[in-house]
Every structure is written in structure tokens, then in C-alpha cells.
Structure 1
Amino acid sequence: MILGLIPARYASTRLPGKPLVDLGGQSMIERVVRQAQQANLSRVVVATDDERILRHVHGFGGEAVLTRPDHPSGTDRLWEAFQQLGTPAEVHCIVNIQGDEPFIHPAQINALADLFQDPATAPAIATLVKPVVSEEELFSPHLPKVVLNQRQQALYFSRHPLPYQRQHAPADWLQHHRYLRHLGLYAYQPAVLAQLTQLPVSPLEAAESLEQLRWLEAGFTIQCAETELDAFGIDTPEDVEKALLRLGIKPM
């Protein structure tokens, strides 16, 4: 059984009440849930810290659980939600789906879920990567990059372009190397997720502000699946306007 969990926190510095923002007649969290329900998942559950989101999800027929408001990360929220669901033994994979990506494609979720179809060969952790296609992407600190080994496992994540090419000018880097950026979609074996929540913040994580570096420093392997499909996260009112335009709706 593959379980999809969607962390959805009400408080947001730049966009309070973000999961409930209306996008063309549907809330952002409903759009995420509807997209996830089209993927190869046995069950989709929202993990929220707010009664308003809980009631809203139940109102459109979705499943949700109420978690503590003080979790330091979405990973911790997922683990509490999983425990509330009774830690069903038949679940062999938990997919962590970002609650602020209303255009997430079911194929992106399936790219990770497919890695866990056979529990005997399933990775401990998996995540999604995408080829970098522009210089703007390459040098944006908001779009983490990743380098892989020959088994498609992550060696390192950084907000800086990886690798640094000494022999070429930065403007020419994309011509000489195939760069990959990281998309924030994860999948874990339940027992591994339990271990991840016990790890302290690591030096590399603190430096880059990337939680997955904590896992690498602790010795976990992160398998990567590749997609050509982009991600579109919503963090600001400007992002909401862009989302409405994407839906063919002119912002007010």
C-alpha cells in the first residue's frame, strides 16, 4: 500500500491561510488533493495544524487529520499523521506531497511511487529531479541543485550550481554539463521516516537550509527519479496571480 500524505500549515509569513486560497473556484489544497488522487496511491490524506483546513478538506470529501502546530518541519508533521492513522502495517511507502503545488502532475507522483512497487527492492528514501533548462534556473538560490552517482542516488544538494566548472565561464556552463535541480517531492519507507524525525539538525543542513542534507550526513541513501515536468509552488500573492493566469483567469 502506498500512502500519499500532504502537509498543509495555515500560518505562512508571506501568504497566511495559503492552503485555503481560492484558485478558480477550488482551494489550493483541494487542487493538490484532486491531482494526488489521480496518481497510483492507495490513499491520500491531508496533515494539517488548523481546524479550518481540516473542516474544509472534509467538506469537499477529502481525508484529513489534525496535527500539532509546533512541528519544526513537514517531515515531522507527516510522521504524527501516519501514527494517527494507526501506522497501518500494510503501508510500505509514504509519499510526501507538497501542499502548495496545485499543478503537481500525477506522473510526477507515480515516478516515485513506482520505485516502491516491490517492497523487496524499494529504496529507503526517494525524491524527484529535473534537468535545468535555463541560466536563470541554474543560478537561482531558490531552486536547489543536485548531483547524482551512477546509480541515480544523490551525492549532494546545494543552492549553488553543482558542479563548478573551472575550465568554463559560468555563462557557458549549461553547454558543457547536464545540470539537475531538485523538486520537493519525497517518498520513504515508514520505518525510515520514523528514523528521520529523530535526527538533529546537521551542519550542512544549517549552511544550505536544505533538510535532505541532514539525511545524507546521517548516512541515508536518497534514490532519485527524473521528470521533465516542472514544479509550480505558491508562496506569495504574486504566485497566486501567476497561478490564476495559468488557469486562464485574469487576477482581480
Structure 2
Amino acid sequence: MATTAIFGAGVMGETLLSGLLRAGRDAADIVITERNPQRAGALAERYGVRVLGNVEAAQAADTLVLVVKPQDMAGLVEEIRDHIVPGNTVVSLAAGITTERLESLLPEGSSVVRVMPNTPARVDQGMSAIAPGRHCTEEHLDEAEQMLSSCGKVIRLEEKHLDAVTAISGSGPAYIFYVVEAMIEAGVVLGLPRATSTELVVQTLYGAATMLRETATHPTVLREEVSSPGGTTVAALRQLDDHKVRAAFITAMEAAAARSRELASGQG
């Protein structure tokens, strides 16, 4: 069985590790690297995987998954590049680092896949977009897709779309949490206990999301079904429209995409 090495066992690295194991991968076929000795020991004990140094992990791996911070990527690649051989797949989850940039740091012809994941992968409900580099084969792209599928949905896109993906699904959970915070606060203002308001909002969010996915009905239709003429919902929606909330969301996501482009071009 091919060996997968996860370089950087932070939140997303651990998320991917646990997802692979839940999907049936043998712990013996996965190695991780982690600079913090205490965390490394805890992960080894929790998941039964080997913890190696970067060079040893690169030598052992068929697939190298780079989950370090963008500012640490160049140092990591410099350390392991001489141990990457033809046939290896390099999968990068680092925000703002293009496949072209990574290919320039790796041996000529290296197969690179760039991934934009999101945090709901922690509960197997992630949304990841993957984009191939110049030398990436269909086989390597399939491999990356299967790996990311262990903790959610995966779509394939051209790399030029990843700034938009970053703005929509990459940063998207934060927008949802922001709205949930506001709705909970509104419940408290209206006299509900905070715990009650939280339960109402979270279940409403979960139910609405489930309706969207399982009914495949357009959100406009679902919204209109709730909006009785002259009723409470249209009164609330009128206020949202008056405060240009829809436009604010679009502007916010445009700003996120622009920032993603800045980071990818080295302006950040």
C-alpha cells in the first residue's frame, strides 16, 4: 500500500489524518511530521501513526501532503526536495501558494495538486476544491480527490478559480458563524435565554442547510415559501434589503478573493 506523509499536524493536518483513518486507511501507511514533541506524542498515541522528521517522512512517502503555514513552505520544501522522486504526488493545502510557485521549488517535473479546503472537514462535511499543476497526471489527481473525500465533498477546478473558492467556501464558514452570532444576539435582545436562542438558531441553520441539499430546490423558492404576504418574514427581509445586506455579502467576498490574489502574488 502507498504511504502518505502529512507534513504539519495542526488542525487541518489532524483533520485529514483522522478522516483517512475513518475512511479505512491503515495507520501503518500514514506518517506525520510535527515540530511540537508533546503534540507529536499525543497524535501518535491517539491515532497509532508514526511520527518522523521531515526528511525521513519524505523518503518514506509516495504522497506528500504539505499542510504547513504559507510562510513555512519554502523552508520545508528546501529540506525535503532532494528526497522527492518521480511518481510522488505533492499535495499542498497552503493558502496563497500557486502550483507554479511550488513547482519552481521542487524537482523538475514534480506532480503537484493544490487544495483549498475548509474547516467543516473536521466533522466530515468539508468542501474542498482541487487544481492540478502542469505535470499532474489524472492518476495523481484521482489520488488527491479520494484522499480529500475522506472528510467531505471535493470538486475539481482550474487553478484560476481558486481565489473565488477561497472567498466562497474557504472563508465561508466564518460568514455563517458571523450570521449565527448576530441571530443569537437578536434572540437575547428579544428576551430569550442565551442557551435557548443558541439552540433555536443552530437547529434552524442545520435544518435550512439540509433542505437546500436534500430538496435541490433553489434558495429563492425556499425563501418565498417562508415569506407570507404581509407577514413577519417579509418584514424582516425588508430591513435586510434596506440595509443592503445582500450587497454587503457580495462586496465582502470580492474583498476576500482580492486578498487571496494578493497573497498568491506575494503582495501579502
The alignment's TM-score, normalised by the length of structure 2, stands at: 0.32
Q: Higher helix fraction: Structure 1 or Structure 2?
A: 2
Q: Higher strand fraction: Structure 1 or Structure 2?
A: 1
Which has the higher Rg, Structure 1 or Structure 2? 2
The alignment's TM-score, normalised by the length of structure 1, stands at: 0.34
